[in-house]
Structure 1
Amino acid sequence: MENARTDTFLITGGCGYLGYRLACSLHRKGAKIILFDTVPPKQEAPEVFTFVQGDIREYAQVEEAIAGADCVFHIASYGMSGREQLDRHLIEAVNVQGTENVLRACVEHGVSRLVYTSTFNVVFGGQVIENGNESLPYLPLHLHPDHYSRTKSLAEMAVLKADGAALPDGSGVLRCCALRPAGIYGPGEQRHLPRIVGYIEKGIFRFVYGDPGSLVEFVHVDNLVMAHELAAEALTPEKQHRSAGQAYFISDGRPVNNFEFFRPLVEGLGYPFPKLCLPVSLIYFVAFLTEMIHHLIGPFYNFQPLLTRTEVYKTGVTHYFSMAKAKAELGYDPREYNLDEVVQWFRSRGHGRKCHTSSLGRLLRDILFVSAFVAVAFSFLPVVGM
């Protein structure tokens, strides 16, 4: 990335997994880095990094951080998974209002490039998509099963609409693009993988669901870092601003069954892979019940749902996308990765099977667990029919 040698990059959400990994990659190429986040980085950051602690919902704090930046990577968001998905007020404030603050600050301070980290979810809401491309329309807002996806759609629309906005004193225009990544993985990922490993270790991961032939996608963090760097470079005059106003699907480009993808992690930690497969409709119904219960008691006890409705669709329904546009316009060429590094990362931190139960014991536990699961689901049916 040629421009990294002299440019100053501001990364919102820069102390998160992707943001910090991107910062380190840009730094190795000679760039100046500003991290903007609510908390300092967990790792020991290079002294040359500038850390600005602030809240993306507060315009004055965003403006202070962006002043002096040449390019902004807007990664910060809220509500992607788990109980976070159920806090509608905070999701909207961060994802919509926060993005508006970033765009306004970019224009007022003459920032010429903005790369927005969006999501597959702007076009996906539980329908089957096979090798989709960027010509797909946004999913109608009222069809999104969660507020995170809805607000990410609104934010992406605002970013792409802002492309071409005039900068002060005739200094040029703001060039914007959006990346729509698949589920992110890699050693040290802290949002999804620890939750999955927790379910495995607690004995909750006793079944899979959906059609065994269903396919989804993932993206290794380093492939996603590469895509961000290429997208920013493609916004420059040297690249004829070719990514300006554009959105790109980004993944490893290898569709795979969601549960088969995690098989190496389950077995690598010494646990048996579940043989029981349940229908998506049943799991979706239980997720719906869980969300309703959370809505009622969440203000008093903010428990972690096993799964939300959106997570059921994202893991159990086929949706994968073509990388042709990203390859042609950005030069994106994803490398091949597997979960070996992830398994080693968890094992080095003390995770892995510490005790073994007999096959009969596992079978009995499976039967009890599934019986309870189904009983809870169907106990609600008479109420629905009233």
Structure 2
Amino acid sequence: MESTQMDKKVFLLTGGCGYFGFRLASALHKRGARTVLFDAVRPSQELPEGMVFMQGDIRDYAQVEKAALGVDCVFHIASYGMSGREQLNRHLIEAVNVQGTKNILRACVENGVPRLVYTSTFNVVFGGQVIENGDESLPYLPLHLHPDHYSRTKSLAEMAVLKANGTALTGSSEVLRTCALRPAGIYGPGEQRHLPRIVSYIEKRIFSFVYGSPSSLVEFVHVDNLVSAHMLAAEALTAEKQHRSAGQAYFISDGKPVNNFEFFRPLVEGLGYPFPKLRLPISLIYLFAFLTEMIHHIIGPLYNFQPLLTRTEVYKTGVTHYFSMAKARKELGYEPQEHNLQEVVQWFKSRGHGRRCQSPFFWRFMLNILFVSAFIAVVLSFLPVAGSW
């Protein structure tokens, strides 16, 4: 990527100490930009000169306002509730994703920040329905149809970001220009949210079956392709690029629809495990996820366990949904590079992961399903029947 006006600018990255945020910050730093990492969690490694860490919470406007001083562009990456048990904490999801985004937008306006790139999600249009080669003309999924609170709040946040495009900046003749990127599932060596969980399932032999149709297709995006897309989007908000991305949303992926389980085959086999041959109906897995969420709702305040899968995760992994990159290619100049999971396999192997045991976990897992079902049946037996009052 050629040097542009991005060089020597100051960039604020909310969630900058996360996997993707730090990768983006490092790419910006290599081009000579100053980067401010705003995060509730401290960075896990020493920062190079020109990269600054500010510890803070996007729910606190005073902290956000301070972080936005003297900034040329904000990459708003921070969010909460994407997967696992986080998806079930509705209050925190709402506070971070909706109120936190409002704080970011307000700080941009009051501090004269002219550009904001928002990291959104496929989920703003997807809620379990089949989508084949969809594009940005698709409407938002109606809020009441979202199967999880994370997707609903990300929709609300994206709407707020795009609506703020063109807002006059305080004390300036300029306006705020915003855009949103909707990435697929992120992967790459060192990814810490999804891949370690998947590897733990592989090693515990939970990954002893697959589900859904073998013809179902989903998408992924390598972290470096997502970094490239964000940098291009920020450039496309400048006058030099005719503000062409202002007010726009873009789907971002590697551009290669693939069956979810086949995508992870190299990881499974690369770590020395056999790829599962048993295929279960998606309806059974969805029922199990529903029962698990019910149990978490009941006992979560006492024991906040990690669900094996949530209903949204079943949809996202087992139902076809993939999107066209045509708009991102045309307006941003986005061209995803070729990547595979071999670098991920090597990353895990270098940290001691790989086949070490032969314990048949599947049957224990099926017994757990029966236990969960029985527990729910007992709980429901204590609930009042309609009309029994």
TM norm structure 1: 0.95
**2-side partners of 1:378 and 1:285: how far apart?**
13
Question: What's the CA shift for 1:204?
Answer: 1.2
* CA RMSD in angstroms, aligned pairs only: 1.7
Q: Is 1:250 aligned to residue 252 of structure 2?
A: yes
- 2:199 aligned residue: 197
1:370 alignment counterpart: 366
Q: C-alpha displacement at 1:165, in angstroms?
A: 0.2
**2:226 is matched with which residue?**
224
What is the match of residue 284 of structure 1?
Answer: 286
Q: How does 1:204-215 map to 2 (within 5 A)?
A: 204-215=206-217
Note if 1:104 corresponds to 2:106: yes
Q: What letter is aligned with 1:82?
A: G
Amino acid at match of 2:183: P
Contact 2:291/2:372 (CA < 8 Å) preserved in 1?
A: no
> Could you say which residue in structure 2 is the equivalent of 1:241?
243
Give the corresponding residue for 1:123.
125
Q: Which runs of 5+ in 2 are unaligned?
A: none
- Kept after mapping to 2: 8 A contact 1:82/1:307: yes
Per-residue CA shift, 1:145-200, capped at 9, x if unaligned? Answer: 10000000000000000000001223300000000000000000000000001111
Question: Following TM superposition, by how much is the alpha carbon of 1:366 offset from its aligned partner in structure 2, in angstroms?
Answer: 3.6
- Indicate the residue corresponding to 1:11 in structure 2: 13
- Cα distance in 1, alignment partners of residues 19 and 132 from structure 2: 29
Equivalence for 2:158:
156
Runs of at least 5 residues in structure 1 that lack an aligned partner in the other structure: none
Q: Please list, as runs of the form range in 1=range in 2, the aligned pairs for 1:160-171 lying within 5 A after superposition.
A: 160-171=162-173
Relative to 1, partners in 2 of residues 1:297 and 1:380: Cα closer, same or farther, differing over 3 Å? closer
Q: Following superposition of structure 1 onto structure 2, how do residues 6-45 of structure 1 map, counting pairs within 5 Å?
A: 6-45=8-47
> What's 2:303 paired with?
301
Q: CA deviation at 1:371?
A: 5.6
Report the residue type matching 1:206 in the other structure. S
Distance 2:370 2:132 in 1: 31
CA distance in 1, matches of 2:100, 2:232: 24
* Separation in 2, partners of 1:379, 1:39: 37
Alpha-carbon distance in structure 2 between the residues aligned to 1:239 and 1:366: 55
- The SS at the match of 1:177 is strand
Runs of 4+ residues over 4 Å off in structure 1 = 374-384
Question: Take 2:358 and 2:363, find their aligned partners in 1: how far apart are those partners?
Answer: 18
Equivalent of 2:181, from 166, 179, 182?
Answer: 179
Could you tell me which residue of structure 2 aligns to residue 141 of structure 1? 143
Equivalent residues of 1:216, 1:255 under 8 A apart? yes
Q: Which moved more, 1:279-288 or 1:314-323?
A: 279-288
Q: How many residues align?
A: 380
Equivalence for 2:319? 317
Identity of matched residues, %: 77
Amino acid at match of 1:165: T
Which residue is equivalent to 1:72? 74
Partners of 2:373 and 2:284 lie apart in 1 by: 7
Q: CA deviation at 1:343?
A: 0.4
Could you report, residue by residue, the CA deviation over 1:284-324 in whole angstroms, capped at 9, with x for unpaired residues?
A: 11101111110111111000000000000000000000000
Three-state SS of the structure 1 residue aligned to 2:5 is: helix
- CA shift, 1:47, in A, is 2.7
- Partner residue, 1:55: 57
| Residue among 86, 89, 113 paired with 1:87 | 89
Partner-residue secondary structure (3-state), 1:249? strand
Q: Compute the displacement of 1:87 (Å).
A: 0.3
Deviation at 1:6, TM superposition (A): 2.0
Contact 1:282 1:377 in 2 (8 A): no
Check 1:381–1:254 CA distance in 2 against 1; reply closer, same or farther (3 A cut).
farther
Q: Matched residues in 1 for 2:21 and 2:5: separation?
A: 18
Residue 355 of structure 1, CA deviation: 2.9
Deviates more, 1:374-383 or 1:32-41: 374-383
TM-superposed deviation, 1:50: 1.1
| TM-score, normalised by the number of residues in structure 2 | 0.94
**For the Cα contact (< 8 Å) 2:162–2:179, is it kept in 1?**
yes
